[in-house]
Amino acid sequence: MKRTYLPGILAMAAVVLASNILVQYLLGDWLTWGAFTYPIAFLVTDLMNRIYGAAAARKVVFAGFITGVICSLIGTQIMLQGDGYTYPAVTLRIALGSGLAFLTAQLMDVAIFDRLRGGRWWRAPLASTLVGSALDTAIFFTIAFSGALTLLEPSNDVSWANEALPLLGSGPVAPLWVSLAVADWMVKLALALIALIPFRLIVARVTGTAQTA
């Protein structure tokens, strides 16, 4: 593993670790603080892809995946108290959804970025992040909370996440987990646009060249 990959690996590990911690803290009715740190993983992947290539980006993704697995294993051993019963901080469904969502979405990001790297500077990071973010959100929330996948972990009661409520408090009626997913996805979309600024600045600084529009 090349030494130059180390900053990317450390950055990805830090993002995954921070997100696993901050996801425990609610922000309003639909979000957690982790929703604002996790999308930075796409920025890290895209920077590695642009500067060092797709192979380097995939190595950083796998480093993040391993970090996430370790966090999930630790989380399964942490027991929380609530509503008169004890439950693990990380359930099997959450661990499975998190791991599959991260790996699938990040590798898709790498593939799309690599395919579009020859176009305008903003097209590859924006397109890859938008597609990857949508895939990540869909996979995670479906596996972790959908009532249709109860067989994955029968002992895990996800009825609270399937309560029928207006979407984001005012839209059509949908399971609660759908509102959580839509809110998460909207944050990812906003941060995908904002991330274009540090992406361009960091690439220009590292490579010593300004990218053309």
Lowest-confidence segment of 21-35, 71-85, 101-115 by average pLDDT = 71-85
Instruction: Kindly report the CATH number assigned to the domain that includes residue 132.
Output: 1.10.1760
* Euclidean distance between CA atoms 142 and 131, whole angstroms: 17
Inter-residue contact 88 to 76 (CB < 8 Å): yes
Q: Is 93 within the bounds of a domain?
A: yes
Mean pLDDT over residues 143-162, rounded?
Answer: 94
Boundaries of domain holding 146: 3-207
Q: Is 76 within the bounds of a domain?
A: yes
Q: Which of 104, 117, 96, 110 is nearest to 42 (CA)?
A: 110
* Euclidean distance between CA atoms 38 and 6, whole angstroms: 19
CB-CB neighbours of 104 under 10 Å: 16
Total domain count for the chain?
A: 1
The answer to whether residue 63 scores a pLDDT higher than 80 is yes
Q: Is 212 within the bounds of a domain?
A: no
What confidence tier does 7 reach under pLDDT thresholds 50, 70, 90? very high
Q: Is 9 within the bounds of a domain?
A: yes
Q: Which of 184, 175, 173, 169 is nearest to 139 (CA)?
A: 184
